[in-house]
Amino acid sequence: RLVVADEGEQPFYILNADTFWIDDGPLNLQRLALAWDAAKMDILLMLADLHQATGHCGSTDFLVEPDGGLRRSKGDPAGLIYAGAAIVHPRLFKAAPAGPHSLNAYFDSTIAAGRLFGMPMHGHWITVGTPDAIALAEAAVAGALTESQ
């Protein structure tokens, strides 16, 4: 459980434990920090292209508006995947329920408020959220290591 009182008033990263990526160019977490704008954002998600993803068996999550704002893609193939990395402002969690709960409710409320934004990542995104995805992830990492030599 996140204890917001301990987080102060500064935005912070949330990273999913079952995802990682291989950067292509500038580091994506640095790019995310540079894109953060507390005046207009409550959440800034890092997003991955479905065609640059390994281990993902679902559809897309979000469509990016011209201003970077997000809306649900409802599976639209032009959409992007939430890549498991975000910057969030602690004000969102002031009334958070006790116990584990999904970030999806916060995504929906910030979409409604016009305060959910996204940044497409540069690189290859990998999830190991299911046992079947582990071998795929290992192969993707091995391939990237071979390419870099």
Q: How many domains does the chain have?
A: 1
Whether pTM exceeds 0.85: yes
Residues in the chain: 149
User: The domain containing residue 60 runs over which residues?
Assistant: 4-148
**Partners of 46 in beta bridges:** 119
Interval 36-68: pLDDT, tens: 999 999 999 999 999 999 999 889 999 999 999
Contact 13, 119 (CB under 8 A): no
Low-confidence residues in the chain, pLDDT < 70? 1-7
3-state secondary structure of 139: helix
Measured between alpha carbons, how far is 80 from 76 in angstroms, rounded to an integer? Answer: 9
pLDDT at 7: 57
What integer best gives the mean pLDDT of the chain?
Answer: 92
CATH of the domain at 85: 3.90.550.10
Please choose, from the candidates 115, 102, 98, 101, the residue with its C-alpha nearest in 3D space to the C-alpha of residue 40.
Answer: 115
